[in-house]
Amino acid sequence: MIRKGTTFTRFIIEDLRKLPEATGDFTLLLSTIVTACKEIADDVSRGQLINVLGSAETENIQGETQKKLDVISNDILIRALEWSGHLGGMASEEMEEAYPIPAKFPKGKYLLVFDPLDGSSNTEVNVSIGTIFSILRCPPGIVEPTEDDFLQAGAKQVCAGYVLYGPATNLVLTTGQGVNGFTLDRDIGEFILTHPKLTIPEKTNEFAINMSNQRHWEPAVKRYIDEVVAGQEGPRGRDFNTRWVASMVAEVHRILMRGGIFLYPKDNRENVKEGRLRLLYEANPMSFIIEQAGGAASTGRERILSVKPQRLHQRIPVIIGAREEVERVERYHLTMDKLQSESPQTTIG
């Protein structure tokens, strides 16, 4: 049994010894990712001192203004991983197309997708941000993977994790055998197991959603939020607290630590009609982690990990957290959809 205080290196080696097909490639890949995130953590912590905060005056493929640390973090991950020999290719939220491994480097059997710095709009105000990553298997026989090879349903992920850069630097990881949390000990430069076998409580009194968008929400989301805001006097019969950090890594980490639900639903605005968060870089890895911790992850109408991606930067609605709450939102969507189909001319709200 792996105990608290175990180093990440020992943890991952002992964990993968249980798999007879393990070759060591996966262990080395994870170690390289974690090393790159330590470098990002250092830049984040010293950002105000080394002039890497603020806008880079460029835009990513989604038309969003990039922060200097977005670009720096993306470059750190590419530079650390392209030569390793463990990857067939990479895809990043910050790059328009998949990144092929240069011909001068050996290629491996895995694909990596990542959001190099989630929540980077918060860098100037010292709010927790993070790196999200997901590891997929490269399809058999593929030497030069194309975009289509990355478009795998989230249920096919080999591993998902994130590194949270906050008062402490935390690594949270799943390989499909539960969720474990590590904390960076800066004195020795190693992540230490501090939160083994994380689980999400079934019941919660906390919810996270951007309330400023409520006029744009679908009826099911309005109904759910109206009920929790009504508190003890409402149909739920108890008070709820709202939380909103505007950093998905921070929101998910809070849910893993003490429960809750996080909603970033689609709404009637033109740029959010399909959802706001990216399926490959954010929704899939976080959904894998949440499910492995006993929670649920849904678009509001279906399990996120069952969605087959159609394009590299596809967006999707995200409702994740305590299973009881996520399933309630799903029921409300099904009810509202049924009413709408029976009376298509009726506006529900």
Binding-site residues for substrate sit at: 118-121, 210
Half-sphere exposure in the Cβ direction for 151 (13 Å, CA) = 12
Give the strand order in the sheet containing 206-208: 241-242, 206-208, 261-264, 318-321, 296-298
Decide if pLDDT at 127 tops 90: no
pLDDT at position 279:
98
Write b or e for each residue in 200-220: b if 16 or more Cβ atoms lie within 10 A of its Cβ, otherwise e. Answer: bbeebbbbbbeeebeebbbbb
Least confident of 3-17, 57-71, 155-169: 57-71
For the CA atoms of 299, 303, 308, 309, what is the dihedral angle to 10 degrees? 30
Tell me the average pLDDT across 24-32.
92
pLDDT at 65: 53
Q: Which helix (H) or strand (E) holds 195?
A: strand 190-195
pLDDT bracket for residue 62 (50, 70, 90)? low
In the annotated binding site, the residues are 93, 115, 117-121, 210, 282
Helix, strand, or coil here: 129? strand
pLDDT value for 101: 97
61, pLDDT greater than 60: no
Rounded to whole angstroms, the Cα distance separating 19 from 281 reads 27
CA distance 81 to 78: 5
Say if residue 2 is exposed, middle or buried (CB neighbours under 10 Å; 0-12, 13-18, 19+). middle
186/126: higher pLDDT: 186
Confidence of residue 79 (pLDDT cuts 50, 70, 90): very high
What's the half-sphere exposure (Cβ side, CA atoms, 13 Å) at 306?
8
pLDDT of residue 348: 47
Of 153, 248, 152, 262, nearest to 200 (Cα)?
262
Sequence ranges of the binding site for Mg(2+): 93, 115, 117-118, 282
Per residue in 170-192, pLDDT tens? 999 999 999 999 999 999 999 99
What pLDDT sits at residue 19? 61
Q: What is the pLDDT of residues 280-292, one digit of tens each?
A: 999 999 999 999 9
pLDDT tens per residue, range 143-153: 999 999 999 99
Sorting pLDDT into bands at 50, 70 and 90, what band is 293?
Answer: very high
- On whether the CB atoms of residues 326 and 298 are closer than 8 A, the answer is yes
- In the chain, what is the greatest distance between 2 CA atoms, to the nearest angstrom? 66
Percent of the chain exceeding pLDDT 70 equals 90
User: Which residues pair with residue 92 across a beta bridge?
Assistant: 114
What value does the CA radius of gyration of the chain take, rounded to a whole number of Å? 20
15 pLDDT band, cuts 50/70/90, is: confident
294-317 burial by CB neighbour count: b if 16+ within 10 A, else e?
ebbbbbbeebbbebebeebbbbbb
Average pLDDT, rounded, for the chain: 91
- Can you give the pTM of this predicted structure? 0.92
Instruction: Identify the residue with better confidence: 134 or 124.
Output: 134
Average pLDDT value for residue range 225-232: 97
Using a pLDDT cut of 90, give the percent of the chain over it. Answer: 78
Query: Tens of pLDDT along 94-103?
Result: 999 999 999 9
Task: Kindly list the structural domains of the chain, giving each domain's residue range(s) and its CATH number in brackets, ordered by start.
Answer: 8-197 (3.30.540.10), 206-340 (3.40.190.80)
Give residue 319's pLDDT band: very low, low, confident or very high (50, 70, 90): very high
115 conformational bin, left if phi > 0, alpha if psi -120 to 50, beta if neither: beta
Residue 51's pLDDT is what? 55
Q: Closest Cα to residue 331, out of 301, 287, 303, 305?
A: 301
Q: How confident is the model at residue 345 (pLDDT cuts 50, 70, 90)?
A: low
From residue 301, give the alpha-carbon distance in Å to each of 220, 248, 298: 11, 20, 7
Sign of CA dihedral 232, 237, 243, 244: negative
pLDDT at 349: 45
What would the pLDDT profile of 239-267 be if each residue is shown by its tens digit? 999 999 989 999 999 999 999 999 999 99
Confidence band (pLDDT; 50, 70, 90) for 165?
Answer: very high
**pLDDT greater than 90 at residue 310:** yes
